[in-house]
Amino acid sequence: MLRSSGPSSALNRQVIFVKNSDPARPVIAIIGAGASGTLLAWRLWKVGVAARGVVIGDGLEPALGLAYGTRCSSHFLNVCASGMSAMAEDSEHFLHWAQCHYDPDV
């Protein structure tokens, strides 16, 4: 489960992944809620790491750090979408995601 919460402050956003909410489980803290921190939390959750975790960042939305938080349409990726997978076992994961959520003609 992924959820976001937290008060408005300098570090105002937390994305918490909870695979097992047992307080005896270790807590993993990931500092930085941009694409890398969010993808790490997602991957730990996906593979079933038996821990509680928190991703701490200062953005308004998880995964939208400096690199991916731009709203300017003139910003371009400096690598082909087919080379930006978040999953080693699916090299075209990002490409398929972009086609499904953004533009089928990518």
Domain shared by 57 and 80, yes or no: no
- Residue 55 covered by a domain: yes
Domain shared by 6 and 58, yes or no: yes
pLDDT at 59 over 50: yes
Domain shared by 7 and 51, yes or no: yes
pLDDT at 1 over 50: no
- Residue 71 covered by a domain: no
- The C-alpha atoms of residue 4 and residue 11 are separated, in whole angstroms, by 13
Rg for the chain, CA atoms, rounded: 15
The overall pTM is greater than 0.85: no
Strand boundaries in 1-106, DSSP class E? 2-5, 13-18, 27-31, 52-57
**Interval 14-38: pLDDT, tens:** 555 555 667 888 888 888 888 888 8
Question: What percent of the chain stands above pLDDT 90?
Answer: 0
8: pLDDT confidence band, cut at 50, 70 and 90? very low
